[in-house]
Amino acid sequence: MPSPWKHRPAPLKLGPETIADRIKRLRKLRGLTQANLAKKIGISCGLLASYEYGKNRLFDEMIIRLSIALKVSTDTILGVQDFPHENFASTRFTKRLKRLEQLPEAKKKVILSNLDDFIKANTE
């Protein structure tokens, strides 16, 4: 058992987001469900949920497994490095675009026209 610190260092200022919050946010940005991510890293859905709710503490191997599955660095999961949002397309959004590409040209035009109208109405 490690001995207690005689002089506790100053706390790190990593922002208000916890590791649990980051895992949940990154999972959703990748378009994964808890079940999908749990399967990818080889754990139960319940265990992943307990990590996302901050009930269980992560150990080193699990941080590495999460970083590989979520395609981010361990520093991103730990909050040492920010996640570059501007270069990231949601997997869920990308899947929808692929499905849209498979539609007949006439239906694509209708959907894209509606999308353009919606974007224009909400950016002015």
Mean pLDDT of the region 84-89: 58
The CATH number of whichever domain residue 61 belongs to comes to 1.10.260.40
72 and 52 part of one domain: yes
CB atoms within 10 A of CB 34: 18
55 and 95 part of one domain: no
Residue 4 lies in a domain: no
Mean pLDDT for the chain overall: 86
At residue 47, the pLDDT reads: 95
71 and 99 part of one domain: no
Query: In the chain, how many domains are there?
Result: 2
User: pLDDT tens, 5-47?
Assistant: 788 887 777 678 889 999 999 998 888 899 999 999 999 999 9
Q: Among 12-21, 33-42, 65-74, 83-92, where is mean pLDDT lowest?
A: 83-92
98 and 44 part of one domain: no
**Nearest Cα to 52, choosing from 43, 100, 1?**
43
The pTM of the full predicted model, rounded to 2 decimals, is 0.63
Q: Calculate Rg over the CA atoms of the chain.
A: 20
Is the pLDDT confidence value at 62 over 90?
yes
Is the pLDDT confidence value at 1 over 80?
no
Q: How many CA atoms lie within 13 A of 113 on its CB side?
A: 6
Domain carrying residue 116: 91-123
23 and 83 part of one domain: yes
Residue 7 lies in a domain: no
Is the pLDDT confidence value at 51 over 90?
yes
Residue 99 lies in a domain: yes
**Nearest Cα to 96, choosing from 77, 117, 116, 111?**
111
CB atoms within 10 A of CB 8: 7
83 and 119 part of one domain: no
Residue 72 lies in a domain: yes
Taking every pair of Cα atoms in the chain, the longest distance, rounded to a whole number of angstroms, is 71
Mean pLDDT of the region 45-51: 95
Q: Report helix, strand or coil for 81.
A: coil
Q: Positive or negative, the Cα torsion across 89, 92, 94, 96?
A: negative
